[in-house]
């Protein structure tokens, strides 16, 4: 009953920036946490960043200092600001959210960092 729509992916040069957005819609009464995961070819899906309903954040060590997760509760939207991008950041990025009873996933958006 919850749908996540992602946007903002694309192709960027090393050192560049992208901002991902994920808007949640549907039967939303409470979003306990939202986050971003990524999956590169041949690798497991990994947590990139997460944010609680109160604004507390967690980041993967590989992105600390470069990525920033934020949320707009009024819009049910979570963002991922990605700066100083590296080729190793290339992956499909997935948005997720947790309600009181379920976990939902977005369709994924491709981020490619290449010269």
53-90 burial, b if ≥16 CB within 10 A, otherwise e?
A: eeeeeebeeebeeebbbebeeeebbbbbebeebeeebb
Mean of per-residue pLDDT scores for the chain: 93
**Res. 99 pLDDT band, cuts 50 70 90:** confident
pLDDT of the residue at 113: 98
Cα separation of 83 and 112, whole Å? Answer: 13
pLDDT tens profile 54-83: 889 999 999 999 999 999 988 889 999 999
Give, as one character, the DSSP assignment of residue 84.
S
């Amino acid at each position: 009953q919850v749908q996540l729509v992602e946007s903002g992916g694309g192709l960027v040069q090393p050192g560049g920036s992208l901002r991902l957005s994920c808007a949640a819609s549907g039967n939303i009464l409470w979003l306990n946490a939202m986050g971003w995961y990524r999956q590169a070819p041949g690798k497991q899906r990994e947590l990139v960043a997460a944010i609680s309903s109160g604004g507390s954040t967690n980041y993967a060590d590989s992105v600390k200092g470069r990525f920033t997760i934020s949320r707009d509760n009024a819009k049910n939207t979570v963002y991922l600001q990605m700066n100083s991008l590296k080729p190793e950041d290339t992956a499909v990025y997935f948005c997720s959210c947790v309600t009181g009873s379920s976990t939902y996933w977005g369709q994924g958006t491709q981020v490619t960092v290449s010269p």
